[in-house]
């Protein structure tokens, strides 16, 4: 709980347009209780936020420990599969304490980038070799605690990861990811507690990592709790080929056959889809989380986001491997990737791209009362400078276009979560030195 606060927003994006001079009243429970437009000057005692204030950004797909890979995996060439080998080596060095330190620093970096809610796709569950910790959820609880320490919300998407591939047992690196069976996964994850800043959802790592006859167990667990369910889907053509060889159908069709698709489900990447796949995802209103900076970093390809959205699949955005942490860049990249592929401009408006980064991203993580500046919504918002070298000179009424097509995470001036200032004037209020926290936690994994 925080003290009731009044914020005066120099400019505010209200979902369809930018409004100058907006006053927000925030109650002690961290919700917006009043919104007044036409406030030319700040009322007495108000917190003044100069720039463009937008709802807090939702990072719908994160692997926090991948932050330790940045730059190191940029040396040389290779494929997704060679990148994965290096990722396994970092995963092997994680402990609950070292993961907490790295995730706290990574989530603090997210707060500095205007992110107020992260969807953590979590699969490093056990000790190396696969032996459970004394607390079987020690790693997941470390992530929940790290988000709290960094001042942001988390939906922990606890991930079933049971196989190395179709009909293959987990390899030595993957042993610590696996609970053995989906029933054992469900028993473990049922002991995780949410509340406050944290929610618990479910994930299927991929169709290659969960045997087909166990997919329904994970889907049923999520259905019983009305929890979000995410899945890596058709990220690689090799996965599609292997799935056809094993099951004579695409990964999307396999998920549909086992009851995985639906409005609480989000497919992550959805890159290499058939026309029938797109129709299935759209007709079931299964969401799509695009992660353009990772997809281009790994040379995965450009997903059919425009066709998916037209078919009925809501779009969200994630930073995935954290090649960069910048949701504005993810939004921009989704549009610019489509321009390169189609050689036409303007597939999404700036308003639509911001909606994917805010309201629809939160909804994909099971949070439907965030991502909007309106009475009753959670008081989670971020302010982007309109006077930096990247953003200066544009008309304030074009603030949405400025934010999406010119601004970067470096232009985030303030981040507020539940009415509490987490980032003030570009400085994190809970983690005093985020660069040092990142450097130290990453160095510890190399020791």
Query: Which residue numbers are catalytic?
Result: 269, 320
| Inter-residue contact 357 to 57 (CB < 8 Å) | yes
- In sequence order, what E strands does 191-314 have? 198-204, 229-233, 265-269, 287-290
Which residues does residue 122 pair with via DSSP β-bridges, in sequence order?
158
Q: How far apart are CA 408 and CA 403, in angstroms?
A: 8
Residue with tokens 């090799």: 238
Tokens of 58: 């939702």
By residue count, the chain amounts to: 447
Q: How far apart are CA 138 and CA 183, in angstroms?
A: 19
Chain-centroid distance, C-alpha 130? 27
Q: How far apart are CA 266 and CA 357, in angstroms?
A: 14
Question: For helices 350-357 and 327-342, what crossing angle results, to 10°?
Answer: 130
Distances from the Cα of 191 to the Cα of 63, 227, 389, angstroms: 21, 15, 49
Chain-centroid distance, C-alpha 425? 24
Specify the 3-state DSSP secondary structure of 330: helix
| Inter-residue contact 93 to 139 (CB < 8 Å) | no
Instruction: Choose among 385, 410, 361, 439: nearest CA to 153.
Output: 361
Q: How far apart are CA 117 and CA 157, in angstroms?
A: 13
Rounded to 5 degrees, φ, ψ at 19 are: -115, 130
Specify the 3-state DSSP secondary structure of 373: coil
Distances from the Cα of 186 to the Cα of 159, 192, 388, angstroms: 10, 10, 48
Residues 6+ apart with CB under 8 A from 183: 214, 217
Q: How far apart are CA 166 and CA 340, in angstroms?
A: 35
Rounded to 5 degrees, φ, ψ at 245 are: -65, -35
């Amino acid at each position: 709980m925080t003290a009731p606060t009044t914020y005066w927003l120099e400019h505010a994006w209200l979902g369809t347009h930018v409004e100058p001079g907006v006053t927000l009243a925030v109650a002690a429970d961290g919700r917006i209780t009043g919104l007044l437009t036409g406030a030319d000057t700040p009322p007495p005692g108000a917190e003044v936020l100069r720039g463009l204030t937008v709802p807090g950004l939702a990072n719908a797909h994160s692997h926090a420990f991948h932050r330790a890979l940045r730059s190191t995996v940029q040396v040389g060439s290779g494929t997704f599969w060679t990148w994965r080998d290096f990722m396994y080596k970092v995963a092997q060095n994680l402990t609950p304490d070292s993961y907490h330190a790295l995730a706290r620093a990574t989530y603090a970096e997210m707060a500095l980038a205007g992110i107020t809610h992260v969807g953590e796709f979590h699969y490093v569950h056990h000790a190396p070799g696969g032996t459970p910790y004394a607390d079987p959820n020690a790693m997941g609880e470390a992530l929940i605690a790290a988000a709290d320490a960094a001042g942001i919300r988390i939906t922990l998407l606890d991930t079933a990861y049971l196989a190395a591939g179709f009909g293959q047992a987990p390899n030595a690196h993957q042993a610590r990811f696996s609970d053995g069976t989906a029933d054992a996964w469900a028993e473990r994850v049922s002991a995780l507690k949410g509340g406050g800043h944290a929610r618990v959802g479910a994930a299927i790592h991929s169709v290659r990592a969960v045997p087909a006859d166990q997919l329904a167990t994970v889907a049923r667990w999520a259905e019983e709790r009305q929890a979000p369910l995410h899945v890596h889907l058709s990220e690689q053509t090799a996965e599609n080929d292997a799935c056809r060889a094993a099951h004579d159908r695409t990964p999307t069709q396999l998920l549909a056959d086992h009851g995985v698709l639906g409005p609480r489900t989000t497919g992550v990447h959805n890159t290499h889809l058939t026309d029938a796949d797109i129709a299935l995802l759209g007709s079931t209103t299964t969401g799509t989380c695009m992660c353009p900076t990772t997809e281009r970093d790994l040379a995965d390809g450009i997903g059919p986001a425009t066709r998916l959205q037209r078919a009925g699949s809501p779009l969200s955005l994630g930073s995935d491997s954290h090649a960069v942490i910048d949701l504005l860049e993810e939004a921009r990249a989704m549009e610019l990737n489509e321009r390169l592929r189609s050689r036409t401009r303007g597939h999404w408006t700036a308003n639509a791209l911001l909606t994917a980064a805010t309201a629809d991203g939160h909804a994909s993580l099971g949070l439907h009362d965030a991502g909007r500046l309106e009475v009753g919504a959670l008081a989670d918002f971020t302010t982007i400078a309109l006077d930096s070298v990247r953003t200066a000179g544009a008309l304030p009424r074009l603030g949405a276009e400025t934010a999406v097509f010119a601004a970067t995470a470096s232009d985030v001036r303030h981040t507020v979560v539940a009415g509490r200032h987490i980032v003030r004037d570009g400085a994190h209020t809970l983690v005093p030195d985020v660069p040092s926290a990142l450097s130290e936690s990453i160095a510890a994994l190399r020791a």
